[in-house]
Amino acid sequence: MRYDALIFDIGGVLLNWDPESILNKFYDKDISKKLSDLTLTKRWAEYDRGLEDRENLYRYFIKIEPDYPDEIRFLIFEIFKYMEVLDDTIEILYTLKKKGKKLYLLSNFTQLGFEYVYKKHDFFNMFDGKVISCYINLIKPEKEIYEHIHRKYSLNLDKTIFIDDNDTNVKAALDYGIKSIKFTKADKLKEDLEL
């Protein structure tokens, strides 16, 4: 497979994003499930998009789950601090960088969460550019977000690969014309990238 540039998702590829398993470390399974389901709502998607204020989101979720105000505050204001680095994928980044490949980020992420993880982890310094949903008011799998990163960095789509753990996002990228790989685990990605 010929490629010069790679576009990486963050959650589920570079950092572990499994809200239910993170919440299970702090709360019982029933509460964790209820809270993690909130991250799948349209309102959370608007938070990722940068069009929903976190305090408004908190008040909205409290109406849905009034028994869990502290837990909801944790979900919105703290959970991203517990996203663990997927070390095997980070090793792949270093290998790609040594080979002279260009690396980009394309992720749905809240501003509060992204700014925290971006400052915390040095591996983000390897990236040549980034498109994060909350700053441009677009989210995957919308066609416009793929178009945005394509145009912003003048990517040659014939030599670019998009990597994401979400089937819908991968399909949308393929539909736009970007070669794409569904991420499952690092070993498989190394195989797919012929590293």
State mean pLDDT over 111-135. Answer: 98
Q: What are phi and psi of 163, to 5 degrees?
A: -125, 120
Domain boundary among 65, 82, 99: 82
For 165, counting Cβ atoms within 10 Å of its Cβ (0-12 exposed, 13-18 middle, 19+ buried), the class is: middle
Q: Are 166 and 140 in contact (CB under 8 A)?
A: yes
Helices 29-38 and 69-77, axial angle in degrees (round to 10): 50
Does residue 78 sit in the same domain as residue 88? Answer: no
- What is the secondary structure of 58-73 as a DSSP string? HHHHHHHSTT-HHHHH
State mean pLDDT over 106-122. Answer: 98
Instruction: Say which CATH number the domain at 100 has.
Output: 3.40.50.1000
Domain boundary among 66, 82, 98: 82
DSSP bridge pairs for 107: 132
Does residue 75 sit in the same domain as residue 88? Answer: no
**Band (1; pLDDT cuts 50, 70, 90):** confident
The whole model's pTM is what?
A: 0.96
CA dist., res. 141 & res. 23, Å (int): 26
Range of the domain at 127: 5-16+83-192
Give the other-Cβ count within 10 Å of 18's Cβ.
Answer: 13
Does residue 144 sit in the same domain as residue 134? Answer: yes
Give the other-Cβ count within 10 Å of 30's Cβ.
Answer: 8
**Band (146; pLDDT cuts 50, 70, 90):** very high
pLDDT tens figures, 18-77: 999 999 999 999 999 999 999 999 999 999 999 999 999 999 999 999 999 999 999 999
DSSP bridge pairs for 8: 105, 163
Does residue 93 sit in the same domain as residue 150? Answer: yes
